[in-house]
Amino acid sequence: MLETLASTTNIVVPADGSPAAEAAAWYAGAVAEARRGTVHVVAAWEPPGARAQELARTLGRRAEVDAVLADVEGALGAAGLTVNGHVRRCGLVAALCAVASEHDAELIVVPAGWVSLARELRWRAECRVDMLVVDSGRHPGFRPFPVASSRL
């Protein structure tokens, strides 16, 4: 039974081309690998000038989205991980929630510093949300910081 659950684990992570998002993708990959799951990389886009105040971390051109997804999918795929890319023309929060719901995700990983996105997902997502924060302790890197209750 446990092996069946492990094989269906879906982890969702946003992509915008930033170093923080790349680190979150690798963390999501590590979680997915440990659970024999799939990483769903999500990028959102809107043409410039479209409700900019509602679309934080949303890319302005479709070509940017394709390039960002290709980079992340290629790197994680080369590491032997199962990766699916998703492009949505909407705000990033809506895109992450939609993909998480469609694939029955257990976790959304939010990059370090994306506090407002993590807070909004906390109320809208139907799964666990972890935000990565810089670890100022003896071990540099990232550690998960839960910002919502878990159903894992």
Q: To which residue do tokens 């923080």 refer?
A: 20
Cα 93 from Cα 99, distance rounded (Å): 10
Cα 144 from Cα 135, distance rounded (Å): 9
pLDDT band, very low/low/confident/very high, at 25 (cuts 50, 70, 90): very high
Q: How far apart are the first and last CA of the chain?
A: 14
Q: Domain-by-domain residue ranges, the chain?
A: 2-146
Architecture of domain 2-146: 3-Layer(aba) Sandwich (3.40)
The tens digit of pLDDT for each residue in 33-46 reads 998 899 999 998 87
